Structure 1
Amino acid sequence: MVRVRIAPSPTGAIHIGLARSALYNFLFARQNNGKFILRIEDTDPTRSTKESVEAIMEGFKWLSLYWDEGPYFQSQRFPIYQEYAKKLLKEGKAYYCYCSEERLQAERERALQEKRSWQYDRHCLYLSNEEKERLEREGVPRTIRFLVPQERNVVFEDIIHGRIERSGRDIEDFIILRADGTPTYNFACVVDDALMEITHVIRAVEHISNTFKQILLYEALNFKIPFFAHLPLILGKDGKKLSKRHGAVSIMEYKKMGILPEALINYLALLGWSPGGDLEIFSLEEAIRLFRLEKVKKANAIFDFQKLEWMNSEYIKRSDNKRLLIGVKEFLEDKNIPYEQEKEEKLLEIIQLNKDRSRNLCELALNMAIYLKEEIDYDKEAIEKYLDEKGKESLKELLSVYEVLSLFNKETAEKALRELANSKNKKPAEYIHPLRVALTGKLVGPPIFDVANIMGKDLVIKRIKKALMLGLEKNS
C-alpha cells in the first residue's frame, strides 16, 4: 500500500510551499488508495508551539487535505530514536563526539581563512579509550555522530529528477543525537518514515542534500529505502525565493483575503504540474484523477498572485450563492456592513448580481455594501463626471418620475427612465450614468436597473436625493 506523509515543524503557520507539498502527497495517496499521514516534527522545544500545531491542522482542514493517520508527534518518540542511536553505536556505525562548539567554530574559521571547505575532522573517532574515559569522568557533554562510509558514492533515482549521485567523501560525519538526547532532523525523519512504513517521500527540492544522509541511515539500520520525489522551488515573478513581498506567505492569510480554498488548491496544483491541454480549472476530485507524480516538472514554479486572483474570481462566478453567502458573512461583519439574517433571499440576489465582478470574498462584501449600508462612499471622478449641473438636472427629472411610480421593479424603472428620456428628447444614458453614481457611488457596476430593483423604491429615492445634495455642495 502507498503510504505518504507531510511532516511540518510547528514553528509557524502553513506556507505556500508546505501546502503544495501536502497537496501533492494527498493527491498521490488518494489516487493510489493509499494513506496520507500527518507527522509533527517538534523536536526543537524552543521553536515549537502548540499554537503553530493548531494553525497547521486548521490550515490543512480549510484546504480539505484531511489526513488518514496522526498527527504523530516526534517529541513523544524520543526513547525510540535513542534506542536506534544506541544500536548504531553498538554496531560501530556511529560514535560519541565530545567536541565543544568553541572547538568546532574555531575549525570552521580556520578553514574559512585557508579558503577551503570544512567538514568535521573525526577528532573524536580517533580518541583513545583513556581519553574517552577521562571525558566521561569529567561529564563533558557528548553528541552521537554517524560514521559516514566515505569510500563509496550515494546514489538514488528521483521520480522527478532522475539519477542523483554524490560522493561519500562530500558528506561529513553528521550528528544524529544531540547532547541533550534529542534527535536531529535527518535521524528522526528516517526512523519515523521507516517505522511508519512510508513508501514515497514527496518533498521540496531543498531536501535533496538530506536525502544522501538519509539513505546512508536507512542502509545502516537495515530499513527499506522509500522512493523519493523532490518538488521544484516556488519563486516569485522576479525569480527570487517566495516571500511576503510577492504576496501572502501563510495559507490563512489568503483566507483572510477572501480566497476560496478550492481556488487555492487548484492554483497550488499547477505550481509544478499540469494536467495537459488547456485545462486550468478543476476540482480536487478531478485533480486526484488527473495527477501524475512523474509529470511534475523539474523547473522552478512561479507564484503569480494575479493569476490566483483570476482563478479565484472564476470560482466565485461558478460557486453556489448559498455557499458564497456563508463565506462572505465573515467579511460583512469584519467591515461592519449590516445585514439582516432573515432576509436571505435578498442577500442571495445581491450576491448573484455582484459575484461576476468580485475577485475575492472581501470584494464581494464591499460590492454588497452599497445595498446594505445607509451611507455609501462616492468616487470623486464619478461625481465630477456625472453629477455636474447637467447630470443633476437629469436626476431631478428622474426623481419626480420615480416618486410617483406605483409599481417599482426592474422593468418599470427602466421603462419610466426611457420614456422620460424620449419625452425630453435626451439619450437614456444622460439619466443612466447619473443614476448609477447616485445609487452606487461608482462609474461602473452591475446593470443599473437590476441594482435599482434589489434596492427598492425607498432606497433609490433616498440615494437620488443624497446625490443631488452632493451635486449642490459641489456647485455651491
Structure 2
Amino acid sequence: MLRIALSPTKDIDLEDLRIALLNYIISKKTDEELVIRIDDANKDKNIEGKDKEILELLNLFSIEHSRVIYQSENIKYHQKLAMQLMTQKKAFSCFCSDTKLNELKESAKKEGKNYNYDDFCANLSDEIILEVNAAFTVRIKRPIDNIKLIDSFNGEFDYTPNDIDSFIILNHDKTPTTEYACAVDDMIYDITMVINKKEHILSASRQIHIRNSLGYKKDINYIHLPSILNEKENSNSIKWLIEEGFLPVAIANYLVFLGNETPKEIFTLEEAIQWFDIKNISNKKVIFDFEKLKTINKKHLELIDDLRLSKLLGFADTDIGKLGKLFLSETSTLNGIKEKLNLIFSKKNLCKDFEDESKQIIKCLKEAPHIDDFNNFKNYITQNTGLKDDSLLMPLRYLLTKEENGVNLSDIYPYIKNYLGEIIK
C-alpha cells in the first residue's frame, strides 16, 4: 500500500504534488492501494478548511485513492503505543524545560557540534518521576546499534545512535510528534512504499527506529527525491498556479517531466503510467522553470477539445473554444485567454482619433443582417458608410477587440459573428 501524506497547515506546493503524482503513478503500475492521509495531529497549526482544499485539488488532478485517513483519529493509538514503549523502558518521561533544552542547543552550537539530548531524564527512578509534579514530554531512547536505511533511489544510509538521538514522540499535551505519528500510521496501515523529499532521510531513519522499538519487522521501500529549486516564490503554490490559469494536466505533465527521462515532452498521467520508471528520475536537485511550464500549458491548451475549452472560459460554444485558441499566439494560460475575451465582450469607448468613424460603424452594425464571410462583412460596412482602409479597419478592430493590434480580424470574425449584438453595444 502507498500513501499520500499532506498537512493542512499550508498550501500544497510543487514538491507535495510531485510526490502525490508519483505515488499515484506507481500505485497504478503496481496495482497497489493508495490512501490519502491528512496529517492533522497538530491542531494548533491546522488551517480551517485546508483539508477540504487538499482533497479538492487532488481530485482536480484525477488522483484516485481508496480512502482518506485523518491522523488525528489515531491519537489514542499513538498514545497507547507510547505507553507500551515506556512500560518496556524504551521511552521515558522528560521534564526538561524549554529553557534547559535551549541551553543545550546553544552550547552545542558554540562548540560546533550537532545538538543531542543529554539523556538527563532517561535514568530517573520511578520514585522520582512520581514525585515530580510538572508537565512532561515523552522521548524514545536512542538505539543501541546503528540504524540502516536502504533507499532504492539514493542507496544505503547508516545512522549512529547519536544521529538518531533520544527524540520526543509525545508533546507536553500528549499529542504525537510528526515523526512518531507517521511511523505508527505507516505501521497501522501496512504501508509498503514511502516517497518523500530527500531532506527527510534522517526522519525516515528515526521512524524505522520507532517501528523497530515497537517490534514491527516489515520493511518499507523508501524513495527520497531531490528538491525542486524555485526562485519564483508565489509559483510554489499549486492553488496559485490553478488560479493563474494553468491546467492541472499541464502542471502534472511538467512535474512528472521535471528531472525525468521521458519518451516525449507532452503527455497525460494516463500515458505516463504506461512508461514511467522511477529509475529515470535524476537524483540531483532540479530547477522549476516557470517559462517551461507556460510552454507546456500552451501546448495542452492547443490540444484540448474546443467545447471543453469553451466551458473552462465560461461559455458552451465550440466557436468560443476555437476563438480562445487563436489567442495562444499571444498568451499561454486560461487567464490570458479570458482577458482577451473580456475585452471583446466589454463595453467600449469610441476609438481614439476615429470617433466619428466609430459612431458610423456602430450605427451600421446595429442595423446589419447576419453575414458569414468577413470580406462581405467589410464590404457591407463600406457600402453603408463609405469607410475603407485604416478609416474602417482601425476603429472596427477596436470596436470588436478593444485592441489596436493582434490576431487578424479575418481570423477572429468567424467565431464572433453570432455575438455581434453583445459586442457592439
Structures share fold, TM-score greater than 0.5: yes
Contact 2:143 2:164 in 1 (8 A): no
Contact 1:408 1:457 in 2 (8 A): no
Q: Secondary structure at the match of 2:313?
A: helix
Name which of 363, 376, 386 aligns with 1:413. Answer: 376
Residues 145-192 of structure 1, C-alpha deviations (whole Å, 9 max, x = no match): 111225x33222212112222222322111112232211111111111
- Match of 2:324, as an amino acid? N
Q: Secondary structure at the match of 2:153?
A: coil
Matches within 5 A, 1:7-156: 7-69=5-67, 71-127=68-124, 129=125, 132-150=126-144, 152-156=145-149
Deviates more, 1:407-416 or 1:73-82: 407-416
Kindly state the Cα deviation for residue 211 of structure 1 after the two structures are TM-superposed.
Answer: 1.4
Name which of 422, 445, 466 aligns with 2:406. Answer: 445
Residues 249-308 of structure 1, C-alpha deviations (whole Å, 9 max, x = no match): 3222222212111111111212332314xx111011001112212222111121122211
Name the CA shift for 1:308/1:376 in 2 (closer, same or farther; >3 Å).
Answer: farther
Matches within 5 A, 1:121-200: 121-127=118-124, 129=125, 132-150=126-144, 152-200=145-193
Kindly state the Cα deviation for residue 98 of structure 1 after the two structures are TM-superposed.
Answer: 2.0
Residues 12-65 of structure 1, C-alpha deviations (whole Å, 9 max, x = no match): 222222111111111110111111111111111111134111111111111111
The gaps in structure 1 that reach 5 residues or longer are 239-244, 330-340, 467-476
Kindly state the Cα deviation for residue 92 of structure 1 after the two structures are TM-superposed.
Answer: 2.7
Rounded Cα–Cα distance in structure 1 between residues aligned with 2:338 and 2:350: 14
Contact 2:225 2:283 in 1 (8 A): yes
Matches within 5 A, 1:213-362: 213-223=206-216, 224-236=218-230, 238=231, 245-276=232-263, 279-329=264-314, 344-345=316-317, 348-357=318-327, 358-362=331-335
Kindly state the Cα deviation for residue 405 of structure 1 after the two structures are TM-superposed.
Answer: 8.1
Rounded Cα–Cα distance in structure 2 between residues aligned with 1:4 and 1:49: 25
Deviates more, 1:255-264 or 1:440-449: 440-449
Rounded Cα–Cα distance in structure 2 between residues aligned with 1:194 and 1:233: 26
> How many pairs were matched up?
419
Does 2:197 align with 1:204?
yes
Structure 1 or 2, whichever has the larger Rg, is: 1
Residues 80-102 of structure 1, C-alpha deviations (whole Å, 9 max, x = no match): 11222222223332222222222
- Match of 2:43, as an amino acid? P
Kindly state the Cα deviation for residue 442 of structure 1 after the two structures are TM-superposed.
Answer: 2.5
Name the CA shift for 1:158/1:325 in 2 (closer, same or farther; >3 Å).
Answer: same
Q: Secondary structure at the match of 1:288?
A: helix
Rounded Cα–Cα distance in structure 2 between residues aligned with 1:112 and 1:404: 82
Q: Secondary structure at the match of 2:82?
A: helix
Rounded Cα–Cα distance in structure 2 between residues aligned with 1:397 and 1:10: 59
Q: Secondary structure at the match of 1:369?
A: helix
Kindly state the Cα deviation for residue 140 of structure 1 after the two structures are TM-superposed.
Answer: 2.2
Rounded Cα–Cα distance in structure 2 between residues aligned with 1:399 and 1:43: 64
Contact 2:116 2:162 in 1 (8 A): no
Rounded Cα–Cα distance in structure 2 between residues aligned with 1:6 and 1:377: 56
Q: Secondary structure at the match of 1:77?
A: helix
Rounded Cα–Cα distance in structure 2 between residues aligned with 1:291 and 1:165: 30
Rounded Cα–Cα distance in structure 1 between residues aligned with 2:349 and 2:289: 33
Matches within 5 A, 1:428-443: 432=393, 435-443=396-404
Name the CA shift for 1:123/1:352 in 2 (closer, same or farther; >3 Å).
Answer: same
Kindly state the Cα deviation for residue 414 of structure 1 after the two structures are TM-superposed.
Answer: 6.9
Residues 342-398 of structure 1, C-alpha deviations (whole Å, 9 max, x = no match): xx44xx3133123242422212222223442332697xxxx6xxx68xxx9999999
Aligned twin of 1:470: none
Contact 1:160 1:297 in 2 (8 A): no
Rounded Cα–Cα distance in structure 1 between residues aligned with 2:47 and 2:347: 45
Name which of 335, 348, 359 aligns with 1:375. Answer: 348
Kindly state the Cα deviation for residue 67 of structure 1 after the two structures are TM-superposed.
Answer: 1.7
Contact 1:13 1:251 in 2 (8 A): yes
Rounded Cα–Cα distance in structure 1 between residues aligned with 2:31 and 2:169: 34
Name the CA shift for 1:377/1:7 in 2 (closer, same or farther; >3 Å).
Answer: farther
Rounded Cα–Cα distance in structure 1 between residues aligned with 2:350 and 2:292: 29
Residues 301-338 of structure 1, C-alpha deviations (whole Å, 9 max, x = no match): 21122211221111111111221122112xxxxxxxxx
Contact 1:410 1:450 in 2 (8 A): no
Kindly state the Cα deviation for residue 432 of structure 1 after the two structures are TM-superposed.
Answer: 4.9
Contact 2:344 2:402 in 1 (8 A): no
Rounded Cα–Cα distance in structure 1 between residues aligned with 2:369 and 2:80: 86
Contact 1:6 1:22 in 2 (8 A): yes
Rounded Cα–Cα distance in structure 2 between residues aligned with 1:80 and 1:402: 74
Rounded Cα–Cα distance in structure 1 between residues aligned with 2:357 and 2:296: 40
Kindly state the Cα deviation for residue 401 of structure 1 after the two structures are TM-superposed.
Answer: 10
Rounded Cα–Cα distance in structure 2 between residues aligned with 1:112 and 1:401: 81
Kindly state the Cα deviation for residue 431 of structure 1 after the two structures are TM-superposed.
Answer: 6.0
Q: Secondary structure at the match of 2:342?
A: helix
Name the CA shift for 1:113/1:447 in 2 (closer, same or farther; >3 Å).
Answer: closer
Q: Secondary structure at the match of 2:376?
A: helix
Q: Secondary structure at the match of 2:121?
A: helix
Deviates more, 1:279-288 or 1:87-96: 87-96
Kindly state the Cα deviation for residue 105 of structure 1 after the two structures are TM-superposed.
Answer: 1.8
- Match of 1:445, as an amino acid? G
Name the CA shift for 1:90/1:408 in 2 (closer, same or farther; >3 Å).
Answer: same
The gaps in structure 2 that reach 5 residues or longer are none
Name the CA shift for 1:350/1:197 in 2 (closer, same or farther; >3 Å).
Answer: same
Contact 1:401 1:416 in 2 (8 A): no
